[in-house]
Amino acid sequence: MAEVTGTGRVKRGMAEMLKGGVIMDVVNAEQAKIAEDAGAVAVMALERVPADIRAQGGVARMSDPDMIEKIQASVSIPVMAKARIGHFVEAQVLQSLDVDYIDESEVLTPSDYENHIDKWNFTVPFVCGATNLGEALRRINEGAAMIRSKGEAGTGDVSNAMMHMRKIGGEIRRLSSLREDELYVAAKELQAPYALVKEVAETGKLPVVLFTAGGIATPADAALMMAMGADGVFIGSGIFKSGNPAQRAAACVKATTFWDDPKVVADASRGLGEAMVGINVADLPAPHRLSERGW
Amino acid sequence: MKVGVLALQGDFREHINSLIACGVDVVPVRRIQELNGVDALVIPGGESTTIAHLAQTFEIFDEIRNRIASGMPAYGSCAGMILLADHILDAAKDQKTFGGLDIVVRRNAFGRQVDSFEEDLEFKDGFPGLLKAVFIRAPWVEKVGEGIEVLATVKSHPVAVRSKTLFATSFHPELTGDHRIHQYFVDQVARPALKKVQ
């Protein structure tokens, strides 16, 4: 009756516990406490929120271990941290710090433009971004235990997250409508393993939890993503780049639970003060679009 | 018998599916009106701080506490165990629970996510064979009060306990497709408790 750690069930199960919740980006212990008090299910510890990475430019990397440990010490909820795409040593470092989930994230500057991290080699679970079903299944094939649809992080513009949720949902619905003998070609077109394609076609959903991220700035944005079939939301710059973070954080938590009740979303939206100013994704030059990173 | 599953946050859908497989009427509960319509309540896995926060915000917290205190049968897994405990250790600041079970529970007692594990358990109360138990940042029971029966342990820490009307596990039976724990709650905890009330 020995205990076994790091199993698929334990990794994917951790994401199940986050469902219906909001995961918030924080850059220090004070923000982490505000997030926990507001009802966040987890925090993402990072040095700069995406809006600042975007404004300041330069190479964005894994956070300082000291800063991650301070955040871990300050809250009782799970603490996640980001590693660069393909940077398996950053991931090993984060695992050694006992973070609860690693986000192999396009918000940081990629370290490898061909390969992602082989996530099966880790005990800690990974979440990865995806813009479409094929990308999601390739990440799951590499061992991701949770997927988040990508949006355009650090903009406060939800249009990209919306597009990717529609795309992933649409591709899943299409698979469900195919004959079994058509799934081989579907797998080829999706550039994804046949076994996973068949599983999605049969169950009508991803085999792991699907959150959404990128550009979510208001309670209504969070509710919109839940209505599109997300299991929960990541909010990055949207909270701590706004006028009243504590209130906005709590409001987004409420709207995520009661996404299907416009009265609750309306109440949550009242008197929040200034939202993050935001950038229209259409105004971003292509090289600055983070969601296009990942392959 | 109608069983409610507290659906504020967490893996409530998995609990709903397990209960449907046990052949009972199940409804998600987010509001007082929904709570009023159920005979028993299941509190799912999730973040105990978030669930307590939402229950207070939407003013269902006191009502759940009162119903449990006046004998409504309830089952909690993981976060649900924390929420049913009278006392918790390593809690967030000002963290409240519904209470009802005279136990002391330590949050995240087995460690962080890298320490999460599966193990085949012996369940004391009449299951043939072992039970696949999934522990995720799981709590354990540090101390039990009078009238609390310990049904399973890991490294001598209780991970499944019950009183007359309440039942709690540190692990997540809703993730394994094995519905014996839910069936146990329905047949051995909830039905006998409700019979007595009538």
Give the pLDDT confidence of A139-182 residue by residue, as tens digits: 999 999 999 999 988 888 999 999 999 999 999 999 999 999 99
Pairing, β B40-43 against β B2-6: parallel
By C-alpha distance, the chain B residue nearest A5 is B117
Query: pLDDT tens digits for A268-290?
Result: 999 998 877 777 877 887 777 88
For chain B, percent of residues with pLDDT exceeding 90: 93
CATH of the domain at A73: 3.20.20.70
Tokens standing for residue A11: 């990794």
CB B89, CB B46: distance < 8 Å: no
Residues of A at the B interface (Cβ-Cβ below 8 Å)? 1-7, 9-10, 13-14, 16-21, 36-42, 75-78, 95, 98-101, 123-125, 250, 253-254, 257-258
Domain span holding position A38? 9-273
The ipTM value here is 0.95
Q: Within a domain: residue A151? A: yes
Of 2.40.50.140, 3.40.50.620, 3.40.50.720, 3.40.50.880, which CATH number belongs to B2-197? 3.40.50.880
**Cα dihedral value A254, A256, A262, A265, nearest 10:** 40
Determine the straight-line distance between the first and last CA of chain B, rounded to whole angstroms.
12
Residue extents of the structural domains in chain B: 2-197
Q: Which of A280-294, B9-23, B112-126, B177-191 has the lowest mean pLDDT?
A: A280-294
Let me know if residue A124 belongs to a domain: yes
Rounded to an integer, what distance in angstroms lies between the CA atom of residue A84 and that of residue A105?
A: 6
Structural domain count, chain A: 1
Establish if A285 belongs to a structural domain: no
- Reported as a single tens digit per residue, the pLDDT across A201-226 is 999 999 999 999 999 999 999 999 99
Q: What is the pLDDT of residue A264?
A: 97
A225 occurs within a structural domain: yes
Q: Phi then psi for B28, rounded to 5 degrees?
A: -75, 145
Alpha-carbon span A231 to A210, nearest angstrom: 6
Mutation pick from A10, A123, A260 vs chain B, by most beta carbons of B within 10 Å, is A10
Alpha helices in A63-205, H assignment, sequence order? 65-74, 88-96, 133-141, 159-177, 183-190, 194-203
Active-site residue flag, A82 = yes
CB pairs under 8 A between A and B: 136
